[in-house]
Structure 1
């Protein structure tokens, strides 16, 4: 052993060997809470884990066993880098429910829509390029963009999603500064984390704005079929074939199979398949056949209705508990579907600093700052209603409200006026969140 190795006290001896892009990697705020949130005494309103307890698991297990017995040599073997034809054909039928007309050849299967987003970013973005995102935006997407050394610029959003005028102004400003704006990333249906939905007329205007500016639209739609109050709004892809569309079975069936897809123009799809083959050779073959089997032999549309009824009850419980328990000065979104409610606390509170006290009070949430790339979101939290049963949701909100009231009492004790941080806390740079 050399003297250099003997006296090296660094925790990571490989620190000088990593690529520059690893500096953009960061721990997901949601994943970081898993160990705490899974403790039985804690009510977790943090994670977006689907509730799959209502799936007919014995029947699904029987049909999977039959699939292996009859077709095991195929379903347990290597497959195509683009994905198996049988699942791509069924995905066309799924997307038709939201007005999308597509051909199986223009679909690339991925290991969840998260990998689809990674592949899209890989083939389009160089370091220093700009990706536009809603304000706030999905934490997993932000992590992907930053890992590719991309600059994320948030576009002002409101209760109807992205503001088209703000989008036009943002694109113009960035181009005037010599920036290369590659794409707009949006979750138009029941967005994660805000829970808001873009109306059809706004979708048309957003798509037209991006087309005029030469900016690609990447539409992420994991929750679209989980509309709780009305029929789904037509997808942006349904009226613009240049949109790159990300889909997933994680919310409408089960996340453990890790099957998603990208619907893209033919030339883009070719690049995605090459990127997929370099990453994994092929997406999970058994999972693809398993989901195709489920879609063929089970009433999956009725199962989605069952899920919707369950999530509607839980959403309504969360909204009712917020109305009953939260102190004045607090506001929140009213999602028409999906999994999440976005809460804005009175000014002066810092939800990241407050989190340890919330965990001590046996409730978990995700601080709002996790959903911004620029320091916003200090007084926001994302609350999820998808997994806890209604009685636990109500207990969780009661505990959360108690923590907020205590923070406000401390703030008053110190004589801190609204809009000023508590002693020892740090306010983020930049403007405050647009959603209230």
Structure 2
């Protein structure tokens, strides 16, 4: 009788090598717990779309099916429909980007845009530079491509240009192939920090000096709480590859994003797109174009800004009222997130189980680093819960942190900074 394998996965020896670099998203892993109604979830980055005029939008989509259903439910262009690309150019103009629809590639959300850019530029072992910390979804994509991720320090004004220059020169001196810088300059995920105009100019100067491609991810740029949107990096340099999305300014379920790229890059992106999905979702493009044509989308973005500003204020007020001494946090002027730095000696990953038991959830800071930092940090999101729930969530979180501090004091435990890899210093405080 043939012997049966005792392996849980009988195909383990057949997978491609790159699958060993694929990991579960720390945010997705929390969904089952964070979505329980008794838990205040400060973990996810889901936009709140309840303020959209769903009834009238539904009527518009009904009209769309009746009048253009045959076209909307058919295959489409691998680059995206021209009418959609024209609308995207109109949206980008709000951030002072002047573009041609021919240089836009429509994608299945900006996550696919990031995957396509990585696919056409990265060979195993190539280096991608990222802010420290950086978006967990990007780190997952880069890891899956077998890239080396090298973090570049940032402060309250954004990524440090001198640190960028030093990193590029040092890596190239080692023989590394540094392919691009990935940056979220507006309301960074996870820190909420926004690069100043001066810092953006200096960053682009360094990029030109060392001949470095810049990939700008900008899903939150229009969600500013104070004044007009800051000009995008792409508005200042037409060689920047720009990633955009309708997920935060309309609705994520349509899965429509885009890449704005120099012409030669665009050609390769279209080929990669066609290999991946043939074409981006055509019905979603018709639907979003109908929304942009028939509704005051700029007014809706203003309404989103007001709603998220109120929730940001509730988060900051709650942190002020409930966090123990030694806790610090960023103060975002837009977007969805606050970056919290815990008192010395505390580890956000170790505290997570206790926090969930106290019915509050967050994302541990180590999820946003590829090099072991982030033990003292956590990301708190204010985009989805109501202001009242956010304030209550900070109260519960403060209680968890205070209890841990009390326990450590009782047992005389030291204040060594927890890390997930030996030999690394403490996580930077970006408050």
What TM-score range do you get, normalising by the shorter chain? over 0.9
For residue 427 of structure 1, report the CA deviation from its aligned partner: 6.6
2:136 aligned residue = 139
2:226 aligned residue = 229
1:205 aligned residue = 202
For residue 230 of structure 1, report the CA deviation from its aligned partner: 1.7
1:42 aligned residue = 39
Pair 1:284-2:281 in alignment: yes
Mapping for residues 120-199 of structure 1, pairs under 5 Å: 120-199=117-196
For residue 432 of structure 1, report the CA deviation from its aligned partner: 2.2
Distance in 2 between residues matched to 1:332 and 1:19, nearest whole Å: 41
Counterpart contact for 2:371–2:421, Cα < 8 Å: no
For residue 380 of structure 1, report the CA deviation from its aligned partner: 0.2
Distance in 1 between residues matched to 2:269 and 2:420, nearest whole Å: 42
Out of 63, 68, 71, the residue aligned to residue 71 of structure 1 is: 68
1:263 aligned residue = 260
Distance in 2 between residues matched to 1:254 and 1:218, nearest whole Å: 23
Distance in 2 between residues matched to 1:304 and 1:404, nearest whole Å: 36
For residue 359 of structure 1, report the CA deviation from its aligned partner: 0.4
Out of 290, 296, 301, the residue aligned to residue 299 of structure 1 is: 296
For residue 414 of structure 1, report the CA deviation from its aligned partner: 1.9
Deviation string 1:201-228 (CA, Å, 9 cap, x unpaired) is 1111111211221210000000000001
1:324 aligned residue = 321
> What is the TM-score of this pair, normalised by structure 2?
0.98
Pair 1:432-2:426 in alignment: yes
Distance 1:426 1:291, change over 3 A: closer
Pair 1:99-2:96 in alignment: yes
Distance 1:13 1:296, change over 3 A: same
Distance in 2 between residues matched to 1:429 and 1:319, nearest whole Å: 33
Counterpart contact for 2:417–2:426, Cα < 8 Å: no
Counterpart contact for 2:183–2:216, Cα < 8 Å: yes
Distance in 2 between residues matched to 1:187 and 1:269, nearest whole Å: 21
2:87 aligned residue = 90
For residue 419 of structure 1, report the CA deviation from its aligned partner: 2.9
Counterpart contact for 2:185–2:216, Cα < 8 Å: yes
Deviation string 1:248-305 (CA, Å, 9 cap, x unpaired) is 0000000000000000000000000000000000000000110000000000000001
For residue 420 of structure 1, report the CA deviation from its aligned partner: 5.4
Counterpart contact for 2:375–2:417, Cα < 8 Å: no
Deviation string 1:299-339 (CA, Å, 9 cap, x unpaired) is 00000011010000000000011011100100000000000
Distance 1:222 1:415, change over 3 A: same
1:400 aligned residue = 397
Counterpart contact for 1:378–1:428, Cα < 8 Å: no
Distance in 2 between residues matched to 1:14 and 1:233, nearest whole Å: 50
Counterpart contact for 1:135–1:433, Cα < 8 Å: no
Distance 1:300 1:354, change over 3 A: same
Counterpart contact for 1:25–1:147, Cα < 8 Å: yes
Distance in 1 between residues matched to 2:421 and 2:151, nearest whole Å: 18
Alignment gaps of 5+ in structure 1:
none
Deviation string 1:70-108 (CA, Å, 9 cap, x unpaired) is 001100000000000011001111000101000000000
Pair 1:26-2:23 in alignment: yes
The aligned length equals 430
2:341 aligned residue = 344
Deviation string 1:401-427 (CA, Å, 9 cap, x unpaired) is 000001111111221233355xxx967
RMSD over equivalenced CA pairs, Å: 1.1
Distance in 1 between residues matched to 2:109 and 2:318, nearest whole Å: 33
1:219 aligned residue = 216
Distance 1:429 1:29, change over 3 A: farther
SS at the partner of 2:95? coil
Distance 1:427 1:177, change over 3 A: closer
Deviation string 1:332-381 (CA, Å, 9 cap, x unpaired) is 00000000000000111011011011000100000000000000000100
Distance 1:399 1:273, change over 3 A: same
Distance 1:281 1:420, change over 3 A: closer
Pair 1:354-2:374 in alignment: no
Deviation string 1:158-183 (CA, Å, 9 cap, x unpaired) is 11110111111111111111111000
Out of 385, 390, 399, the residue aligned to residue 387 of structure 2 is: 390
1:363 aligned residue = 360
